Amino acid sequence: MRLLFIADPLETFKPHKDSTYAMMREAIHRGHEVWASEPADLTWRRGGHVVARRARAITLTGDGHHWFETVSEGEIVLAQADAVLMRKDPPFDSEYFYATHLLGHAEREGARVFNKPAALREHPEKLAILEFPQFIPPTLVTRSADAVRAFHEEHRDIVLKPLDGMGGMGIFRVGADGLNLGSIIETLNAGGTRTLMAQRYLPEIADGDKRVLLIGGKPVPYCLARIPQGSEIRGNLAVGGKGVARPLSDDDQRIAQTLAPVLGARGLLLVGLDVIGDRVTEINVTSPTCFQEIMQQTGFDVAAMFVDALEAALRQPS
């Protein structure tokens, strides 16, 4: 099969930890043809089809620095690929949004896109949790500074975050003393022009912010607990958190077994839940990661499970 990955520039990949790289490696191992392009290359013209103007067919070298070689390069009609995998990292900005519309039009032309573009738009990673209140901590979504202050007064120890952040960017904790609350609100809501999220602080973060992966409507049996280090409150690997793979707990299983079939049925082949204690804090759908960390620590081949699910999805009628 010909698989087209829409992703960040290949030159920016870190092959020792990148989940998209793990997907590509497994696909090539199975004999599939792997092509890569970037969202900026997506183009449509009246009378034509959605194309990737500059797509590269690649092979892997095994070299950690120069990890791929381009074996062919050219324009690809998305509908002529067997599958298109959208793996562009956040932020989910206007350009990402426009890319999902082009991918949606490619679907109308016959392309098979994973995750489905409409599902990507309908599940913004911070706000998708609102649909599952039984699994989330006390949460507020607002532009109002007064509403945030009232939320802090009620819960005393809270976390504030922007809706378009990734990798722990822009996350603040405000304790009972309320120190710097006003300044943090001003920073995040830009004078009432931007919406932010506040959640009650979960002390279970000390034991890790768990990434629970759902693939093809089923949970991966291991999660990666990302444990904050030193005085840091964030467990994200991008800010120095320590990743420790663990079997899913009973609470993790309960959450995953409930959400996996619902999200899978919507065209979300791959989802990454962020779970602290027994509470879901985010539902990641753009480019969930942690494949390689789980594989390296447990031996469970997450990439193989993903490609199995992709192949099964392609056998089903669109």
- The ranges assigned to domains in the chain are 2-122, 138-201, 204-311
Average pLDDT over residues 269-288: 97
pLDDT tens-digit series, residues 189-198: 999 999 999 9
Q: Which pLDDT score, from 0 to 100, does residue 233 have?
A: 80
> Is 87 one of the catalytic residues?
no
DSSP code of 65?
S
> Is 226 one of the catalytic residues?
yes
Whole-number Cα distances in Å, 310 to 80, 112, 199, 268, 303: 17, 10, 35, 11, 10
236 touches 169 (CB < 8 A): no
> Is 161 one of the catalytic residues?
yes
Question: Is the pTM higher than 0.85?
Answer: yes
pLDDT tens-digit series, residues 78-104: 999 999 999 999 888 899 999 999 999
> Is 164 one of the catalytic residues?
no
Looking at residue 66, its amino acid is H
pLDDT tens-digit series, residues 290-313: 999 999 999 999 999 999 999 999
> Is 234 one of the catalytic residues?
yes
**Cα atoms in the 13 Å half-sphere on the side-chain side of 91:** 10
Catalytic member of 25, 161, 200, 279: 161
> Is 274 one of the catalytic residues?
yes
User: CA–CA separation, 207 vs 210, rounded Å?
Assistant: 9
- Mean pLDDT, rounded, of the chain: 95
Catalytic member of 25, 88, 126, 279: 126
Higher local confidence (pLDDT), 230 or 99: 99
> Is 189 one of the catalytic residues?
no
127 touches 140 (CB < 8 A): no
> Is 88 one of the catalytic residues?
no
The fraction of the chain above a pLDDT of 70, given in percent, is 100
Catalytic member of 88, 210, 211, 279: 211
pLDDT tens-digit series, residues 161-174: 999 877 778 899 99
User: CA–CA separation, 304 vs 114, rounded Å?
Assistant: 16
User: CA–CA separation, 214 vs 143, rounded Å?
Assistant: 32
Q: Which pLDDT score, from 0 to 100, does residue 91 have?
A: 83
Do 204-311 and 2-122 fall under one CATH topology?
Answer: no
Q: Which pLDDT score, from 0 to 100, does residue 165 have?
A: 78
Catalytic member of 56, 87, 88, 234: 234
CA diameter of the chain: 62
pLDDT tens-digit series, residues 2-15: 999 999 999 999 99
Q: Which pLDDT score, from 0 to 100, does residue 101 have?
A: 98
User: CA–CA separation, 224 vs 274, rounded Å?
Assistant: 10
Q: Is the domain defined by 204-311 classed in CATH 3.30.470.20?
A: yes
Average pLDDT over residues 238-258: 94
Q: What is the CATH number of domain 2-122?
A: 3.40.50.20
Catalytic member of 115, 189, 284, 293: 284
CATH architecture designation of domain 138-201: 2-Layer Sandwich (3.30)
Nearest alpha-carbon partner for 50 in 60, 63, 41: 41
